[in-house]
Each structure stands twice: as C-alpha cells, then as structure tokens.
Amino acid sequence: MNINFGRICEVMTGNLKFTMQDFNMEATIPFDHDPLPNESEIKIWNLSDVTVNKLKTGQVLTMNAGYQGDTGLVLQGNISKVQTSWSGVDKITTIKVLDSENLDKREVKDMAFAKNTFGGSIIKQMAGYIGLPIAQFDLVKNYQYKEGYTATGKVTEIIAKVAKDCDTEVYINKGKLYVRNLKKGKDSVFKLDKSKGMIGSPERFEDEGSKGYNLKSQLQYRITTASVIDLSSQLFTGRLYVRSGSHHISRTGDFTTEVEAIL
C-alpha cells in the first residue's frame, strides 16, 4: 500500500474554497514554541482575477490536509498578504497567512499592574488585549511580581518575558495561545519508524542546553508543537517532544512533515 496515495488539501476563506483536486497548490506551514506569530505561505496556480480580488488581508483562512479518508486542520489564521506573479504561461497567486488574530493591536505603553500581581494574570490580560483565545494554560510556576509590573512594547514580547519568569513555554498555534510545558500534557503520541511514515534517518542536534533529533515523515496533520513521538530507528529509540517544525504540501512534490524534537 502506498501511503502517499490520495493526497488531499483544501483551503477555505470567505465564501471561497480551493481544493488540490481542482488547482495546483503548494504550501509551507511552520509551527514553533514562541509567541511570535508564524507566517505560512500558500501558492495557488491560475486563479481568475475575479477570484484573486476576493482574497482580502485580515480575512480568516483555514487549510485542511491529509490523505483520502484522513484529513484535518493544519492551518488557521489571517491573510497578511496576497501577491500574484507570472511564470511563463502560469499565473501564481501567493497568499501569506499569519497565525494570529486581531493584527492591529500589537503594542502597549506603560500598562501598570499592581504590587503582588501574578504572571498568569498578566499573560491572560495581554492575550485578551490582542484578542487571542487561550487553548491551554498550565504554568510551571505562577511568578509573583511583588513590586508590580509595567508592560511596555510588543504584546507578544511581553507575554514571552512573563512566561519565561514563570518557567513556562508559550506559543501561538492555529490562531490560539498555548501556555504550558512542552513535555507535560495529554498530547497525542505518534509512533514513527520506517514502516510508519518516517523518511530518511534522524539527525541528532544539540543547542541551548537541549538535545534531540530532526525528523522527517509523510505528512501528518496531527503533529504540531508539543506532540509526542515514540521513535524507533537505528540511531535512537525512545520518546521525543516536538519543539518546532513545518508541513510541506504540494500536488506532486513534497507532502511531508518535518520536526525538531527534543529529549
């Protein structure tokens, strides 16, 4: 059985829907463990001018992908840029999608929090300020600012600083905020080996006090930040936790998920 058979990809925005069956498409969808919004890129070939004009910045866009009988959400965000170019006789429309909501309110100035305020309260208020729904909220510790706290600058940077004081990871994924430990939670566990979609061999890395492996597999829409992978390979067999990665989608080229997973 060829597990690369029956590729499915569909993009929905406004009242428009594009499928890989009807249009040649390519996409790169990154995910990571910081609160800066990721920007995905989707290319669609030979859209009409009327259709292109219906693609508006700020508009919500979602993408489902997978294989026949097993598809799911890989991207949810807001269109940040639409650009059309020509390559020979082909017209290619590139859509950039930012993995966040409410793009206008990005900064605050001298927002004061009272003495003994807890970090969790600041993170929740900052998320509310930019209209970012919280999917998970589980602090390793809830740091208390005994002298108070003054928030100034980009909201995502403020959230990152406070989360660091709380010894907790924070990131945006599919338009929602996650505040949690990457290695704790009820995340899906994926078994990965040569017979279960792994491509090539794991590549070991070590940086910033972390050790792990770079892995590549057939596209798996369920894998994202904090997913758990039980890897079985000649180089390493054991449990890993996804820190970052990207999905690569095309009709005839890459249809893969690549991840950086830590021990």
**How long is the chain?**
263
Q: If DSSP codes are grouped into helix, strand and coil, which group holds residue 166?
A: coil
| pLDDT of 169 | 95
Q: Please tell us whether the domain made up of 107-180 is placed in CATH 3.55.50.10.
A: yes
User: How does pLDDT run across 156-185, given as a tens digit for each residue?
Assistant: 899 999 999 999 999 999 889 999 999 987
* Residue 31, Cβ density class (10 Å: 0-12 exposed, 13-18 middle, ≥19 buried): buried
- Please, how many CA atoms are within 13 Å of residue 59, restricted to the half-sphere of its CB? 17
**What is the average per-residue pLDDT within 92-104?**
81
Helix H or strand E segment including 129: helix 119-129
Q: Please tell us whether the domain made up of 7-99+185-262 is placed in CATH 2.30.300.10.
A: yes
Residue 2 binned pLDDT confidence (cut-offs 50, 70, 90): very low
With beta carbons less than 8 A apart as the criterion, state whether 43 and 91 touch.
Answer: no
Of the listed ranges 102-106, 118-122, 230-234, the least confidently predicted one is 102-106
DSSP letter for 11, please: E
User: How does pLDDT run across 20-57, given as a tens digit for each residue?
Assistant: 999 999 999 999 998 888 999 999 999 999 999 999 99
Where are the chain's structural domains?
Answer: 7-99+185-262, 107-180
Relative orientation angle of helices 119-129 and 155-165, to the nearest 10 degrees: 160
Sign of CA dihedral 173, 134, 239, 36: positive
**Comparing 7-99+185-262 with 107-180, is the CATH topology the same?**
no
Rounded to whole angstroms, the Cα distance separating 20 from 177 reads: 29
Helix H or strand E segment including 118: strand 117-118
Nearest CA-CA partner of 117 in 109, 125, 129, 106: 125
Instruction: Kindly list the distances between the CA atom of residue 184 and the CA atoms of 75, 169, 175, 180, 261, in Å, as whole numbers in the listed order.
Output: 23, 11, 21, 8, 14
* Spatial CB neighbours of 152, under 8 Å, sequence gap ≥ 6: 108, 109, 110, 111, 158
Q: What percent of the chain has pLDDT over 90?
A: 85
> What is the Cα gyration radius of the chain?
20
Rounded to whole angstroms, the Cα distance separating 180 from 40 reads: 23
With beta carbons less than 8 A apart as the criterion, state whether 189 and 210 touch.
Answer: no
Enter the tokens of residue 243: 């820190």
User: How does pLDDT run across 209-232, given as a tens digit for each residue?
Assistant: 899 999 999 999 999 999 999 999
Instruction: Kindly list the distances between the CA atom of residue 83 and the CA atoms of 10, 53, 55, 86, 120, in Å, as whole numbers in the listed order.
Output: 19, 11, 10, 10, 40
